[in-house]
Amino acid sequence: MSTSSHHWGMAVDLDRCTGCGACVIACQAENNVPTVGEEEVKRGRVMHWIRIERYYEGEFPNPQIKFRPVLCQQCDNAPCEPVCPTYASYHTAEGLNGQVYNRCIGTRYCGNACPYSVRTFNFFNPRWDKPLHLQLNPDVSVRQVGVMEKCTFCVQRIKAAEIQAETEGRSLRDGEPAPACVASCPPRALVFGDLNDPNSEVSRLARSPRGGKLLEELGTRPKITYLQRGSWDGENR
Amino acid sequence: MAKTAEEIQRDLLRPVLKTSWRFVLVVAGLGICVLAGFSAWMYQATNGIGVAGINRPVFWGFYITNFVFWIGISHAGTLISAILRLSNATWRRPITRCAEVITVFALMIGAMFPIVHLGRPWLAFWLVPYPSERGLWPNYRSPLLWDFFAINTYLIGSVSFLFLPIIPDCALLRDRSSGWRRRLYSGLCLGWRGTQKQWQQLETAMHIMAIVIIPVAVSVHSIVSWDFAMTPVPMWHSTIFAPYFVAGAIFSGIAALIVAMVLLRSFLHLEEYLTAQCFDNLGKLLLVMSLLWFYFVFAERLTTWYGNAKPEMAVLWLTQRGPFRQLFWVMLCCNFVIPFPLLAIKKLRTIPGTFIASVTIIAGMWIERYLIIVPSLSHKFLPYTWGSYRPTWVEITITSVTFCAMALLFIVFSKIVPVVSVWELKAGLPPGSRPAGASDRDGQLEPVQILGAPS
Amino acid sequence: MKPQNALYALCSRPQAEKSLVALVSAGIAMDNIVVISSEPLDHYQVRRRKKTLMPWLVVCGAALGGTAGFLLATLTQASYPIATGGMSVVTFWTDGIIIYELTMLGAILSTILVFLSTSTLLEWRSLPVEPEVSAGKVLIGVASVPQRLRERVAELLSAFGEVKQYH
């Protein structure tokens, strides 16, 4: 639980998601996520912090496709946190699952422990061929080989918004810190906000009857609510 | 045993004091292999861990398999030495040192692998609790920290357990050698003379060490198993893991011990010391462990199958019907189907029989560790993230080289210290084998009352 | 503890008991008699089990190790409190494992230390080195021979072989 005034959470509306993938690109641009190349992707080392999972049901000519954006669930009972020997993975006061790149020695224990497999690992030193290095976001560090990384809810944007609000002597407005994926989603399927504020949109959606949590039975207490009209084991009502 | 004390001494010291060209050749060959493995590791350390085959979701592969495997092998010494010492089983005398040596070297090799598999191995020292300039201490909630403490404690304990009874044999070698060897052994034996007080202190220390090392060994492999069991991965998050792994460790340890003993026996001509009776006894122990292993595997799989939970069943079917099924059946043959008749039927429980059983068991146990790690990681909860694993030449090289490294360490050790404990064998001789005739064991001489003696 | 005026001789194993009895009845204290052999002798008198403090010292060492483990784990967890996975800052289940391992380490290290310090190892000059001992002979001698008994001891020891002096 958070000890400060904010407890960040997210809602993902699967009924609005079109699977366009804008969130994936926005995240990559914002957070300096490296591209690993075709060979490495084939070996299973893709580095996207958010991914659009696609599940196919039915046969031609009526296949059904379900999209599900999966990112770090920022679990309150995160299995990835206690297993890190160097405290690289830990729980911040605002309820985020923080990843401290400098502390990581690359045991990859957290990657195994995460049931959602949202953690990615730098198997090699990332490279940005010129002129792509000009695209790097100066607010976010670049990670070295052997370091684990994952979605941080764009903590740099959260911090920037908090500092801005404090300078202006006001509190944060609902929707003010917007992670890159949330800001870039065309149908507004992704909603971000403060779960401690009962009037914020994300709190309202978290209470929605359409809402459920991913792998809730594992007891990880994730902070992302997935909304969909159908039930969770695929029977559409 | 028709050997006299003199003959024992001569036979067991011969490998230490005499070197043949074959020894040099073997050591050179193994040394080259070890260097090749070391270069492969350096290649990985400089180019990035990506040269290995691990990926997402299978973040752990060959290296952690080797880690668990070698730590498992290191449980040989504890069982044989400590438990048999405490239960006063005299047939342990020729094999204790061999077992203790296997423990120490297997532990050293196993403890190397957590460093090999790190993404940033030059920072491995951050697992050591020391007051750092960041004010940060290691996370004791992590099973990797428990590994650090347990393996180090076990290593220190095993080295001591090995070294204490070596002291009198080093004194023996000091008396029997000259020149630089004499100086070496004088230093190694730490000034041992052999007074009765020293013998008593040594035996008390050995007794205490034997009592202490057994719970340490049990804790070591339990903690290694908790590296897996403390995560919510399907078929890892099981309470059976701790006893399952300890039983498996003892199982593979005894098998490794038998293999080492058979090889030593033929290369160093120790036929009269490592007798068929020894192997018969060890074979019976191995049979018990094989049954126990099978019991644990069955219990775990039965519980999983009966529960019919989707994620666990996905992993279970991988090994029963899926891409890992061939490895699974090979493992079952190697660990149970082949050894069971070889070890259960008395006529087959000979030296060749136990040797074949042990070799298959060692292979089978390596496969078992692999099958615990990789299938579960490859099929976790979200099917979109399912993956597969294929090792690369780096991992295969380093894995094979560890066997060469073990052999090399063993051979070099047998050149420095007699690999069968000389003083313990001489102390266990039956009456009548001593040069001067009557022995002082079994209370054959009656205690003499000393009247008026100042005490 | 270097012996002064030490006299010793090499005898065979069955003779060790007799020579010990002879020396004691001549008036030498048991603690003054040194018996060196290449394996432990199990005679009744030669190997009188003296009370050894080692087990108690090992228990103390283990307690010390356990305390060290407790302090290490709990104090460091509290000094830089970092929340992980819904657990408390100081987690006694996991600290228990650290405490257990350091208790065992304490026992092991104290065994080694007590053994090294009480068994007169590392005191290279305190006792003689006789290669004959490794051939099966037993060295029996007196560490500090009182002047008045010197001839008697020499006479007793000469029954077994050459009497040697050690400084």
Question: How do residues B80-89 score in pLDDT, each as one tens digit?
Answer: 888 888 888 8
Q: Helix H segments across B48-195?
A: 62-73, 75-77, 84-86, 96-116, 143-176, 180-188
**Residues C129, C81 share a domain:** no
What is the model's pLDDT at position C2?
58
- The per-residue pLDDT for range C31-66, each reduced to its tens digit, is 778 888 888 877 655 556 677 888 999 999 999 999
Contact C58 B448 (CB under 8 A): no
Beta bridge mates, A205: none
- What is the per-residue pLDDT across A69-124, written as a single tens digit (0 to 9) for each? 999 999 999 999 999 999 999 999 999 999 999 999 999 999 999 999 999 999 99
Q: Based on the domain organization, do C20 and C61 belong to the same domain?
A: no
Q: What is the DSSP string of C119-132?
A: TTTT-TTSS---HH
Quick one: C140 and C89 in the same domain?
no
By residue range, what is the domain housing residue A134? 8-227
Complex ipTM: 0.92
In a domain? residue C40: yes
Same domain, C129 and C155: yes
- C81 lies in some domain: yes
Q: What is the pLDDT of residue A231?
A: 58
- Which of C24, C33, C58, C97 is best to mutate for the B interface (most B CBs within 10 A)? C97
- Pick B172's closest partner by Cβ from C34, C100, C134: C134
Q: Is C36 in the same domain as C67?
A: no
**How is residue B200 written in tokens?**
């008593």
Kindly determine whether residue B6 and residue C135, on different chains, have CB atoms separated by under 8 Å. Answer: yes
One domain, residues C111 and C149: no
Question: Tokens 């990035």 correspond to what residue?
Answer: B48
Let me know: does A192 contact A182? Beta carbons within 8 Å. yes
Residue with the two structure tokens 């009557």:
B438
**Side chain identity, residue B142:** S
Same domain (yes/no): C149, C103:
no
A76 touches chain C (CB under 8 A): yes
Judge whether A1 lies within some domain: no
- Taking CA atoms, A43 is separated from A123, B59, B146, B387, in Å, by 11, 12, 32, 9
pLDDT of residue C154: 81
Q: Report domain extents, chain B.
A: 5-128+139-452
Which of these three, C118, C136, C152, is where a domain ends?
Answer: C118
- Is A216 a domain residue? yes
pLDDT at B297 over 90: yes
Within a domain: residue C148?
yes
Give pLDDT tens digits for A171-201. 899 889 999 999 999 999 999 999 999 999 9
Touching subunits of A (3+ CB pairs, under 8 Å) are B, C
pLDDT of residue B192: 87
- pLDDT score for B438: 37
Residues C66 and C114 in one domain: yes
Virtual torsion, Cα B413, B417, B420, B426, nearest 10 deg: 180
pLDDT-derived band at B432 (thresholds 50, 70, 90) equals low
Is C1 inside any structural domain?
A: no
Q: Among B49, B117, B138, select the one facing A86 at the smallest CB separation.
A: B138
**Interchain pair B197, C40: CB under 8 A:** no
Domains of chain C: total:
2
Q: Which residue has the tokens 């954006």?
A: A69
Mutate to test the interface with A, among B139, B148, B227 (most CBs of A within 10 A): B139
Which of B49, B54, B58, B59 would best serve as a mutation to test chain A binding (most A beta carbons within 10 A)? B59
pLDDT at B450: 39
Q: Of B150, B198, B439, which is closest to C120 when you measure between CB atoms?
A: B198
How many domains are contained in chain A? 1
pLDDT bin (cut points 50, 70, 90) of residue B433 is: low
What is the pLDDT at residue A226? 95
Tell me the CATH number at A172. Answer: 3.30.70.20
A3 within some domain: no
Domain span including residue C93: 56-118
Fold of B5-128+139-452: Formate dehydrogenase/DMSO reductase fold (1.20.1630)
How many B/C residue pairs have CB atoms within 8 Å? 209
